[in-house]
């Protein structure tokens, strides 16, 4: 007996379904992978994605070639039932996601397409008359305090503390590992363009641009090189028009959005979770079995996490805290001590132009540059210090006097450029150094970032500058 024609269509529908998965998976997944963190995905992840696509193509070919077979029709029917069930579940999850996103624990915030939505340093889902923090991991709230409350919704950095002190909405666009190109331009500008499109979100009243003395200049050199701003990767003068075009075309990208922009957030959340978790697994496996991976930056070997360095004993980085000599960590992050004068000037130039671009994108927002000294700069040392280096073969041991002199030099340059660009400058060095006389403001596990006491000192020093008198009224 001839089967009904509708059942003969099942293998063809299954074929189209599998091919649709292939078409969606490759450009969608790999574009997110390449955008996450500014680096391409590992070969293992790419091979896995292509492997999944290969299996889908092979199954699609089998369903199509044997579409008249009863077994093919039976398997097609099962596949369609599973697909309908999965699609219905995903649809319900996606519809409920905007309602439940604010209840996500801190650990899952990075997987949300609009990262400000689950943040608890604001009153509602969207901020109003708010302060926006931009920059690197210090702006994102990295550190021991964050690590202690990953699976809770408890506060863990300066945005929460400023929200409590000022009774204002405060959100952060901070991104770990970012320099000025990513921290001041790509992350906040791309996010705001999409938020304006989807929610018609107003621009922030105040933007706090965190500048991290410890590695922002080195990060700027890395972002220039990985962005291929210099065709031959040889540093030279940076023309402002060429740099702004580079930011427009290669960093910010398209300003035109379709209907789906900002929608399907629940599905994208699950996709980001799967991709990033999978990628982190491969990265951990690779780092545990291979030597440090140096990449060429401006013609020199560069290690993203800092060069491995082991000093003999505990003779370096002994700070005076509370009247006692205390060993901190060897090495620790200092104020870009390894960079030459020309490299510092190049990094400062990138910061200058990135800040100008930020000011251009948010002309009605008051921009304040917050200068955050390196961990080493915060403490008082009598002996030599050992600093983290990123370029291979650079000097790592310096006298304490050099540490503080270079810190003042960089702070002076950032202050000059900030004021020239029409931004206010807030130097956190005095407040943090004074507090470090009596207590540890970093670590003890993550000595590269503030702990709870460090973020409290930072917010206490910032709050008077951001008092109600400097902000529009909440009723405006």
Give the span between the Cα atoms of 137 and 454, in whole angstroms: 14
Residue 445 clears pLDDT 90, i.e. is over it: yes
Helix (H) or strand (E) holding 413: helix 400-420
Residue 1's pLDDT band (cuts 50, 70, 90) = very low
pLDDT at 426 over 70: yes
Q: What is the pTM of this model?
A: 0.85
Across 50-59, 69-78, 223-232, 369-378, the highest mean pLDDT is recorded for 369-378
- pLDDT for the residue numbered 134: 98
**What's the mean pLDDT in 42-70?**
67
Q: What percent of the chain has a predicted confidence (pLDDT) above 70?
A: 79
Residue listed under structure tokens 């029917």: 77
Does pLDDT of 37 surpass 50? no
How many other CB atoms are there within 10 angstroms of residue 410's CB atom? 23
Q: What pLDDT sits at residue 6? A: 55
Most confident by average pLDDT, 17-26, 110-119, 254-263: 110-119
Determine whether 237 is exposed, middle or buried from the number of CB atoms within 10 Å of its CB (0-12, 13-18, 19+): exposed
Per the CB < 8 A criterion, the answer to whether 414 and 371 are in contact is yes
Name the nearest CA neighbour of 17 among 80, 62, 81. 80
- In sequence order, the β-bridge partners of residue 398 are 385
Q: Is 323 exposed, middle or buried (0-12, 13-18, 19+ CB in 10 A)?
A: exposed
Three-class SS state of 207: strand
Listed residue (219, 218, 200, 215) closest to 262, CA to CA: 200
Q: What is the pLDDT of residue 470?
A: 54
Confidence of residue 12 (pLDDT cuts 50, 70, 90): low
Question: What percentage of the chain has pLDDT greater than the value 90?
Answer: 59
39 versus 463: which is more confidently predicted?
463
**Nearest one of 405, 412, 339, 415 to 377, comparing CA atoms:** 405
Which of 17-21, 104-108, 225-229, 267-271 is predicted least confidently?
A: 17-21
Alpha helix (H) ranges present in 329-399? Answer: 341-361, 375-378
CATH for 127-258+300-468 is 3.40.50.1110
pLDDT at 11 over 90: no
pLDDT at 460 over 60: yes
What mean pLDDT comes out for the span 307-315? 62
Give the pLDDT of residue 292. 54
At 263-308, the pLDDT tens digits run: 888 888 887 887 777 666 555 555 544 555 678 888 888 887 777 6
Residue-wise pLDDT for 60-90, tens only, equals 776 667 666 777 667 767 777 777 777 788 7
Peptide bond into 444 cis (omega under 30): yes
- Tell me the pLDDT band of 2, cut-offs 50, 70 and 90: very low
Please state which of the ranges 19-23, 92-96, 131-135, 329-333 shows the lowest mean pLDDT: 19-23
Residue 5: predicted pLDDT = 52
Mean pLDDT of 415-422: 97
Cα–Cα distance list, 70 to 56, 74, 142 (Å): 20, 6, 57
430 vs 312: which has the higher pLDDT: 430
Q: What's residue 26's pLDDT? A: 57
pLDDT at residue 348 above 60?
A: yes
Q: What is the pLDDT of residue 33?
A: 46
Give the pLDDT band (50/70/90) at residue 469. Answer: very low
């Amino acid at each position: 007996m001839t089967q009904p024609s509708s059942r003969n269509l099942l293998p063809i529908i299954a074929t189209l379904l599998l091919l649709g998965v292939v078409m969606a998976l490759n450009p969608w997944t790999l574009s997110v992978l390449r955008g996450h963190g500014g680096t391409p995905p590992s070969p293992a992840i790419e091979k896995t994605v292509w492997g999944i696509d290969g299996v889908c193509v092979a199954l699609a070919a089998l369903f199509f070639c044997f579409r008249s077979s009863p077994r093919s029709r039976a398997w097609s029917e099962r596949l369609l039932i599973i697909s309908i069930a999965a699609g219905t579940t995903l649809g319900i999850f996606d519809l409920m996601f905007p309602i439940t996103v604010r209840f996500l624990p801190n650990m899952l915030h990075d997987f949300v397409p609009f990262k400000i939505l689950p943040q608890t340093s604001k009153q509602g889902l969207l901020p109003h008359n708010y302060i926006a923090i931009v920059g690197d991991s210090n702006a994102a709230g990295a550190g021991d305090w964050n690590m202690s409350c990953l699976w809770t919704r408890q506060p863990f950095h300066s945005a929460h503390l400023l929200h409590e002190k000022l009774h204002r909405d405060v959100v952060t666009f901070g991104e770990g590992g970012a320099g000025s190109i990513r921290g001041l331009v790509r992350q906040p500008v791309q996010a705001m363009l999409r938020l304006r499109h989807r929610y018609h979100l107003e621009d922030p009243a105040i933007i706090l641009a965190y500048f991290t003395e410890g590695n922002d200049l080195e990060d700027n050199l890395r972002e220039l090189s990985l962005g291929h701003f210099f065709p031959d990767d040889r540093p030279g003068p940076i023309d402002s028009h060429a740099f702004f075009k580079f930011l427009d075309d290669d960093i910010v990208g398209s300003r035109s959005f379709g209907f789906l922009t900002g929608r399907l957030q629940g599905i994208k959340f699950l996709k980001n979770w799967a991709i990033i978790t999978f990628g982190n697994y491969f990265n951990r496996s690779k780092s545990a079995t291979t030597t440090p991976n140096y990449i060429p930056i401006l013609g020199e070997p560069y290690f993203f996490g800092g060069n491995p360095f082991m000093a003999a004993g505990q003779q370096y980085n002994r700070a005076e805290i509370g009247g006692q000599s205390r060993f901190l960590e060897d090495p620790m992050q200092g104020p870009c001590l390894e960079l030459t004068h020309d490299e510092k000037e190049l990094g400062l130039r990138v910061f200058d132009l990135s800040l100008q671009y930020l000011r251009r994108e948010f002309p009605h927002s008051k921009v304040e540059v917050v200068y955050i000294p390196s961990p080493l700069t915060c403490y008082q040392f009598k002996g030599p210090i050992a600093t983290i280096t990123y370029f291979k073969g650079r000097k790592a041991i310096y006298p304490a006097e050099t540490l503080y002199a270079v810190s003042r030099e960089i702070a002076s340059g950032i202050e000059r450029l900030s004021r020239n660009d029409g931004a206010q400058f807030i130097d956190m060095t005095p407040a943090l150094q004074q507090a470090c006389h009596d207590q540890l403001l970093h670590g003890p596990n993550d000595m590269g970032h503030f702990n709870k006491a460090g973020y409290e000192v930072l917010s206490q020093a910032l709050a008077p500058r951001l008092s109600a008198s400097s902000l529009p009224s909440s009723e405006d």
